[in-house]
Amino acid sequence: MGKDIKLCLVYRDMWQSAGKYVPRVDQLTRVAGPIIDMGCFARVETNGGGFEQVNLLFGENPNTAVRKWTQPFNDVGIQTQMLERGLNGIRMSPVPSDIRKLMFQVKKKQGTDISRSFDGLNNPQNLELSFKYAKEAGMIAQGALSLTFSPVHTVDYYIDLASKYVEIGAQEICIKDMAGIGRPVSVGKIIKGIKSNHPNILVQYHGHSTPGFSIASSLEAARAGADIIDVGMEPLSWGTGHADVLAVREMLRDAGFSVPEVNMKAYMQARSLSQEFMDDYLGFYISPNNRKMNSLLIGPGLPGGMMGSLMADLEKSLASTNKLLKKKGKPEISRDDLLVKLFEEVQHAWPQMGYPPLVTPFSQYVKNVSLMNALNLIKGKPRWALIDENTWGMLLGKSGKLPGQLGDEIQAIANEQNKEFFYGNPQDLYPDELEFFAQKMDEKGWDYGQDDEELLEYAMHPPQYEDFKSGKAKEKFSADLAKRRADAGKIPAAAAGVPMMMSGQPKELNIDVNGESYRVKVSYGNDSGVASSSSNNTQKGAAAPTASISESTAEIIAPLEGKFLLTKDNSESPVKVGDVIKPGDVIGYIESMKVYNAITADKGGTVVEIAAISGEDIEEEDVILRLK
């Protein structure tokens, strides 16, 4: 037989590429045995990326999950690997270096052997500390090349990039074909070039199936010298996920490679358990479209890992857009119409934004801006009306140098708004914070956890961790799941424990008193949610202070739907009734599509009412503030 090819099951990525959530720890530990018994995997991807944050979102301790989930593989000698985002660690925003260092120490002690580190801009400067900290913690430092297809992302570009990663400490190289748009022959040329320059470097190929190239790319990767191929398995292979282990194995075996046998009885057990997890609750968060391959994605190049959240975003955006179109007497649009318009807009916006590789978090930034552009064009508004702070940070160089040049449209907006570009080391913008979070935990009486893992979790995901500790996360998830189950079974939501509100009931009314017009809010029982644990935001359910409101007041309305927040961190002071604001002032934020969008005033005046409730969802064109 020919060269040995090893296989890696990307079990974490299978779920993230399909939908919003991952299995619970009890489910993960149940499926570990059958995965091991399949007998064909040298590696299993167990954690990293959004894994910990997702655990927190449904009210589960991610540290317990990682330790219990990795242990069975550690016991039998199957290597475990995690995905981490360089400067962003395992979250969507930059992380101070002391927190990054602790992350590697904790994850190694929890049982993770390999750190697959990637930078969304393929910036070696952002990965040098990742490689250093991983090796110091006793992990294998793997550097991932974020593969995309553009005029600046050539075969030679990636071959040279791999050499830069090796020079600064990468011990292995991963070809991270996150959108599956790497053309198979080019994938082979890249790997052949890397192996020619570094014959002793292990190369692992990771390709999503979304547009249909990945099975051919896996074969080309093996022929060019790849050592390990990442695979998925039913019921979550193909679609936005990865090629199935059975297909990859048979293809490679037919091509003359030596590939391990698959224990089919164990495969069917693991397959059955994964389906059970979907039937239990995960299937409620998986769009059927994410189980299909879609060659339309060859053009925009959006990655499989974000398609789960993308379809959820589209559903929300479609509903609010059609509501607005109907209000204006215009024809509604279908989801397919919106999807095509989004894909077309990505192809316009991506070059303007400097060709950042479409991988987390920058794929989100490009998608978010493109979606807002597409929606605004549908509504007859201009492009680039709303660019969130994180996206501006990328555009201005705060995440590192962009692969390409900014287009004229973005450059003009930057000049008009007097934006300052950054040319230094992005890590310098984020000073150490571990001591700050340790002090906060001391004040709250919270334990740092085994190997400081709870301290890491708090420092890495502050708001999500606080919601987890307070029980708010589990309560919110349970309510959402109950509603989805009720909707799927066509059972009245109240029977599933979900508060209901009659459709068509007004939330606000205009009332005339002695010739004076007043705007009042109408409450229908317990529809305001639970109290917020955030101390710096207005409490949920609590009425914001108001002054007399007449028809002469001006309104600042929400430009998009999402969760409204008066502030996004403790360093800011919330807008209050009586404050005088001027056009351009930030009056709050809307958390939507995984980023905070700063909402600025388009008019000035004295605040007489804060109509939106901090921490609650808000719809497009809902009133945020009223001014006099």
Per residue in 117-158, pLDDT (tens digit) is: 999 899 999 999 999 999 999 999 999 999 988 899 999 999
Q: Is 150 helix (H, G, I), strand (E, B) or coil?
A: strand
What is the average per-residue pLDDT within 226-230?
Answer: 98
Say what the pLDDT of residue 24 is. 94
**At residue 301, does pLDDT exceed 80?**
no
Residue type, 528: S
**Other C-beta atoms lying within 10 Å of the C-beta of residue 125:** 18
Instruction: Identify which of 130, 148, 38, 141 has the alpha carbon closest to the alpha carbon of residue 88.
Output: 130
Q: Which two tokens stand for residue 207?
A: 């390709």
Say what the pLDDT of residue 23 is. 95
Per-residue pLDDT tens over the stretch 402-460: 999 999 999 999 999 899 999 999 999 999 999 999 999 999 999 999 999 999 999 99
Say what the pLDDT of residue 518 is. 47
Say what the pLDDT of residue 358 is. 82
For the ranges 277-286, 361-370, 559-568, the one whose mean pLDDT is highest: 277-286
What is the average per-residue pLDDT within 475-483?
Answer: 92
Residue 121 exposure: Cα atoms within 13 Å on the Cβ side: 24
**At residue 336, does pLDDT exceed 70?**
yes
Say what the pLDDT of residue 594 is. 63
Q: Which two tokens stand for residue 271?
A: 């397959």
Rounded to whole angstroms, the Cα distance separating 357 from 359 reads 6
**In the CATH scheme, what architecture does the domain 508-627 have?**
Beta Barrel (2.40)
Residue type, 91: R
**At residue 507, does pLDDT exceed 60?**
no
Q: Which H or E run includes 184?
A: helix 184-197
Higher pLDDT, 133 or 521: 133
Task: Provide φ and ψ at 596, rounded to 5°.
Answer: -95, 120
Say what the pLDDT of residue 69 is. 97
Q: What DSSP designation does 544 have?
A: P
Residues shown for the chain: 628
Q: Which two tokens stand for residue 66?
A: 């990682």
Rounded to whole angstroms, the Cα distance separating 368 from 364 reads 6
Say what the pLDDT of residue 524 is. 42
Which of 82-91, 189-198, 295-304 is least confident?
295-304
**At residue 523, does pLDDT exceed 80?**
no
Task: Give yes or no for a contact between 551 and 624, defined as CB atoms under 8 angstroms apart.
Answer: no
Using alpha carbons only, how large is the chain's radius of gyration in Å?
Answer: 25
Which of 37-46, 113-122, 216-225, 496-505 is least confident?
496-505
The region, left, alpha or beta by phi > 0 then psi within -120 to 50, assigned to residue 223 is: alpha
Burial (0-12, 13-18, 19+ Cβ within 10 Å), 415: exposed
Per-residue pLDDT tens over the stretch 6-51: 999 999 999 988 888 899 999 999 999 999 999 999 999 999 988 8
Intra-chain end-to-end CA distance of the chain, in Å: 81
Does residue 403 have a cis bond before it (omega within 30 degrees)?
no
Q: How far is the CA of 176 from the CAs of 147, 242, 473, in angstroms?
A: 6, 12, 32
What is the average per-residue pLDDT within 214-237?
Answer: 97
Q: Which two tokens stand for residue 500?
A: 């209901």
Say what the pLDDT of residue 189 is. 98
Say what the pLDDT of residue 430 is. 93
What is the average per-residue pLDDT within 200-228?
Answer: 96
Average pLDDT, rounded, for the chain: 86
Task: Give yes or no for a contact between 317 and 371, defined as CB atoms under 8 angstroms apart.
Answer: yes
**Other C-beta atoms lying within 10 Å of the C-beta of residue 28:** 23
> Which residues, listed in sequence order, are joined to residue 321 by a DSSP beta bridge?
none
Higher pLDDT, 89 or 53: 89
Q: Is 622 helix (H, G, I), strand (E, B) or coil?
A: coil
pTM of this prediction?
0.80
Residue type, 589: Y
Say what the pLDDT of residue 294 is. 76
- Would strands 41-48 and 6-9 be described as parallel, antiparallel, or unpaired? parallel
Say what the pLDDT of residue 215 is. 95
The angle formed by the CA atoms of residues 506, 494 and 58, to the nearest 5 degrees, is 100
Task: Give yes or no for a contact between 368 and 595, defined as CB atoms under 8 angstroms apart.
Answer: yes
Say what the pLDDT of residue 520 is. 52
Higher pLDDT, 97 or 463: 97
What is the average per-residue pLDDT within 274-278?
Answer: 96
Residue type, 499: P
Task: Place 598 in a pLDDT band, splitting at 50, 70 and 90.
Answer: confident
Task: Give yes or no for a contact between 575 and 604, defined as CB atoms under 8 angstroms apart.
Answer: no
Q: Which two tokens stand for residue 214?
A: 């990945």
**At residue 100, does pLDDT exceed 90?**
yes
Q: How far is the CA of 294 from the CAs of 208, 212, 240, 302, 374, in angstroms?
A: 11, 7, 8, 11, 20
Say what the pLDDT of residue 495 is. 47
The angle formed by the CA atoms of residues 153, 90 and 462, to the nearest 5 degrees, is 140
Task: Give yes or no for a contact between 446 and 454, defined as CB atoms under 8 angstroms apart.
Answer: yes
Say what the pLDDT of residue 540 is. 41
Rounded to whole angstroms, the Cα distance separating 376 from 378 reads 5
Say what the pLDDT of residue 413 is. 93
Angle between helix axes 214-224 and 245-254 (nearest 10 degrees) is 40
What is the average per-residue pLDDT within 461-478?
Answer: 93
Q: Is 461 helix (H, G, I), strand (E, B) or coil?
A: coil
Q: What is the DSSP string of 415-443?
A: HHTTPPP--S-GGGGS---HHHHHHHHHH
Q: Where along the chain do its domains lie? A: 508-627
Task: Provide φ and ψ at 111, rounded to 5°.
Answer: 115, 10
Task: Place 113 in a pLDDT band, splitting at 50, 70 and 90.
Answer: very high
Torsion of Cα atoms, 135 then 138 then 139 then 145, to 10°: 0
Q: Which residues of 523-541 are buried (b: 16+ CB within 10 A; e: fewer)?
A: eeeeebbeebbbebbbbbb
Task: Place 226 in a pLDDT band, splitting at 50, 70 and 90.
Answer: very high
Task: Place 539 in a pLDDT band, splitting at 50, 70 and 90.
Answer: very low
Higher pLDDT, 291 or 51: 51
